[in-house]
Structure 1
Amino acid sequence: FFSPSAVPFAAGLDVDFRDYLPFDTPRDAQVALDALRPTALVFAKLDVWPVLVTAASQRGVRLGMVSATLRAGSTRRSAAAGTLLRDAYARLDVVGAVDPSDADRLVALGVRPDAITVTGDTRYDQVWARAAAADRTSDVLAPLRSYRPTLVAGSTWPSDEEPLLRAWGRLHAILPDARLIIAPHEPTAAHVSAIEGWATGQRLLAARIGSPAAQDADVVIVDRMGVLGDLYALADAAYVGGGFHDAGLHSVLEPAAFGAPVLFGPRHHQSRDATLLISAGGGAAAPDAAGLERMMLSWLRDESARYQAGARARALVRSGLGAARRAYDLIARLI
């Protein structure tokens, strides 16, 4: 992995070794290959390290990519990116694409047609397994179990919270029993304090997760990393952050796997999963605070509407299962 946000996930994997990828320089690539002496080098999603790929290929290391995807509007389809990356993609021995359109775009980027096959997205298996393993009697979830209509808002940014909290303030006046569990993407002291200040101004009881007051709070603030994936088990409906800025929408599959209908902001078009959720009737995008309030009210007040949308969200995740096995079979060909 390369992003610091992947550290908690990597720490939970049953593997012999985990660490950051080296910088893509000739020296760092040679040092990494000398230390690890891999039989195969397999990337996930899209990014390849061209220097590392070339060095590994020259050593006879087999190369692959799984859950491979490339958006129609990706900058990697530009002429400059193609010049830089085409040789690296052409060196891949096997590639498992998420869907046929991804496969076509990856071939145009340089992947050999005989190397590519459609295997699906392994994240569907991942989130399904996590949902199935969620322990509602755990120290995290048990104190928060409630019959109150609950929205779990995950990976929120200030750009999400401005319309979301404004909408929630109005919603709470209509549904005073409703509860918000909110997990900021960056739970810094200042970020958490700002949400607490908003709750105080709304005369809502706010508490941080793990505190004695959290069980009865109107607003539960998650001030730690690594628990959001399980907290979606408590959601009657979910909000996923990232749709009110340009950095990208976070994972809508995690709450969907629990059967929660998923709400997000208007900037979701780079997310294949969000588009599929909307088409399936298991998710919705809202352009502003009024739209958020309308959808949250619909799901939290109408049990039938909430159940139907949640069932469609979960069915979408179920339809993507099996990609992990297909990716495993693909990688096994390299070893």
Structure 2
Amino acid sequence: MQFLYQLGIHLYGILIRIVAPFVPKAKEWVVGRKQWRNQVSLAAASQAPVVWMHCSSVGEFEDSRVVWQALQEHYTGAQFVLTFFSSSGYNHLKDRGVADTVLYLPLDTKKNAHAFLDRLQPKLVFFSRSDLWANMLAEVKGRQIPLYLLGLRLERDSKFLNRWTRGFFKACFQSFTHIYAQHEITREILSMHFGVSEVSVVGNARVDRIAQASEAAPRYPRVAEFVGDHFCVILGSGLPTEEKMFLSLAEDPALAKVRWLLVPHEIEQEYLDARAQDEQKTETLFTLKTPLLPTQRVMWVDTIGHLKHLYQYAHLAVVGGGFDTIGIHSILEPAVYGLPIWFGPNHRNYPEALDLMSLNGARVFENQDQLREAILYQLKNGMPAGLSERISSYVTENTGASKRTLAELMARHPKL
């Protein structure tokens, strides 16, 4: 498996450069990494001790954000470096003050891993969730740098348990000094299948971030004006199947007074611009400055990073991903606002989904007709008494993972 991994990494690097002139995202990936050696050297130029965290994208960073912020407050003299694999994560956070330096992680070859660590010389290293890069992890472990995995969650059908790749991932998991897991099943899997015993079950730190963010949620005057006193349904991180349903329901005469907020999983700006220019004037964009029209019943959110706050304007939430293999997006983000939540059948038995379903706060819909009936029912009858409070209380009662993680980390590393 090691041979195939090394070969695959090199082939990936070659192929992405070949397609870069024709694929904007590939071009962005290549261009963003062109000067990575100089950028890493500059990040470590102050000679201050470096704390480095790697995340795949925005979601993984949000999972560990509360821990990251607390580390910054504690290690006041350190340089904090944040790396991303995806362009979306890098572009969204590079200028937001979340670290002293935000970089792309270079392609995970042995040579790149060696050069990256030679330049950065970190004192502490964190990876968020399960974005595991074998050569980098092995290099960090070989240098005996404390290495921690935050927010890991493994299920019994995890891809890591495939018999052909299990040995490969065993080496990855065994590279970590300690792993902070979301639930007991993760600890059992790590022990039974990967021989890892350095594990603490702390809960889901994303809950802490969601609760924290809701307390300081910004206001969006354009969205507030768009919704007005209408019933509002929001689609969070929608994929094409859910988007098609929403657009069809928006044309339903029985739902003419509903306002629809659509937040796509992937933003295709040209497509959204075209939709906002339709002759019927029924759709608009979040970022437009033009006056809203009474005919506009659909608002597309054409920028990232706002979804978790936009739920405050809705009365019912549809979480995307349930009709796709990726599974549903975060249901905790709408739950903190006490919204009833609906999603497609592929919820992958996420504990949060099952818990909220047991409270009648979340439900599955199989098709557009079922979603239509759910909306019409709530329009006519409102929410059952106390349901909103039960949903939001579920979030607040499950906070604390960040504090538990930090308490253990501070015991291990009171100073750098």
* TM-score interval, normalised by the smaller of the two chains: 0.7 to 0.9
Deviation digits for residues 172-201 of structure 1 (CA, Å, limit 9, x no counterpart): x2243211111222232453267558x86x
Q: 1:166 is matched with which residue?
A: 248
Residues 20 and 180 from structure 1, CA distance in 2 versus in 1: closer, same or farther, beyond 3 angstroms?
same
Higher RCO (CA-CA < 8 Å; seq separation 6+): 1
Q: For the Cα contact (< 8 Å) 2:243–2:262, is it kept in 1? A: no
Residues 41 and 334 from structure 1, CA distance in 2 versus in 1: closer, same or farther, beyond 3 angstroms?
farther
Q: 2:142 is matched with which residue?
A: 58
1:120 equivalenced with 2:203 (yes/no): yes
Q: 2:267 is matched with which residue?
A: 187
Residues 167 and 308 from structure 1, CA distance in 2 versus in 1: closer, same or farther, beyond 3 angstroms?
farther
Q: For the Cα contact (< 8 Å) 2:236–2:264, is it kept in 1? A: yes
Q: For the Cα contact (< 8 Å) 2:234–2:311, is it kept in 1? A: yes
Q: 2:191 is matched with which residue?
A: 107
Shift, 1:317, TM fit: 1.5
Aligned AA (2:382): E
Partner of 1:79, secondary structure, is coil
Residues 304 and 96 from structure 1, CA distance in 2 versus in 1: closer, same or farther, beyond 3 angstroms?
same
Partner Cα distance (1:39, 1:140) in 2: 45
1:303 equivalenced with 2:382 (yes/no): yes
Shift, 1:74, TM fit: 1.2
Partner of 1:125, secondary structure, is helix
Q: For the Cα contact (< 8 Å) 1:8–1:226, is it kept in 2? A: no
Q: 2:213 is matched with which residue?
A: 130
1:157 equivalenced with 2:239 (yes/no): yes
Q: For the Cα contact (< 8 Å) 2:161–2:193, is it kept in 1? A: yes
Counterparts of 1:1-335 in structure 2, within 5 Å, are: 1=55, 2-7=85-90, 10-11=93-94, 12=96, 14-110=98-194, 112-113=196-197, 115-136=198-219, 138-139=220-221, 141-144=223-226, 146-170=228-252, 173-192=253-272, 205-209=282-286, 210-214=288-292, 216=294, 217-269=296-348, 271-305=350-384, 308-335=386-413
Partner Cα distance (2:292, 2:221) in 1: 12
Shift, 1:223, TM fit: 2.2
Partner Cα distance (1:92, 1:269) in 2: 27
Q: For the Cα contact (< 8 Å) 2:224–2:313, is it kept in 1? A: no
Deviation digits for residues 196-255 of structure 1 (CA, Å, limit 9, x no counterpart): 58x86xx67322223444374321222222322221111111111111121332222211
Partner Cα distance (1:128, 1:264) in 2: 21
Aligned length: 327
Residues 332 and 53 from structure 1, CA distance in 2 versus in 1: closer, same or farther, beyond 3 angstroms?
farther
Shift, 1:122, TM fit: 0.9
Shift, 1:121, TM fit: 0.8
Q: For the Cα contact (< 8 Å) 2:250–2:258, is it kept in 1? A: no
Aligned AA (1:246): T
Q: For the Cα contact (< 8 Å) 1:155–1:185, is it kept in 2? A: yes
Deviation digits for residues 44-81 of structure 1 (CA, Å, limit 9, x no counterpart): 22232222122111211012112111121112111222
Deviation digits for residues 102-154 of structure 1 (CA, Å, limit 9, x no counterpart): 211122342522x1111011110111111111122x45545445221111112
Q: For the Cα contact (< 8 Å) 2:90–2:102, is it kept in 1? A: no
Partner Cα distance (1:275, 1:190) in 2: 38
Q: For the Cα contact (< 8 Å) 1:237–1:300, is it kept in 2? A: no
Q: For the Cα contact (< 8 Å) 1:184–1:222, is it kept in 2? A: yes
Shift, 1:302, TM fit: 2.6
Partner Cα distance (1:139, 1:317) in 2: 27
Structure 2 regions of 5+ residues with no counterpart?
Answer: 1-54, 56-84
Q: For the Cα contact (< 8 Å) 1:248–1:268, is it kept in 2? A: yes
What TM-score, normalized to structure 1? 0.88
Q: For the Cα contact (< 8 Å) 2:148–2:177, is it kept in 1? A: yes
Shift, 1:271, TM fit: 3.8
Aligned AA (2:229): Y
Identity %: 25
Partner Cα distance (2:353, 2:316) in 1: 15
Aligned AA (2:333): E
Residues 251 and 102 from structure 1, CA distance in 2 versus in 1: closer, same or farther, beyond 3 angstroms?
same
Shift, 1:267, TM fit: 1.5
Partner of 2:166, secondary structure, is helix
Residues 207 and 252 from structure 1, CA distance in 2 versus in 1: closer, same or farther, beyond 3 angstroms?
same
Partner Cα distance (2:292, 2:409) in 1: 45
Q: For the Cα contact (< 8 Å) 2:327–2:348, is it kept in 1? A: no
Q: For the Cα contact (< 8 Å) 2:125–2:146, is it kept in 1? A: yes
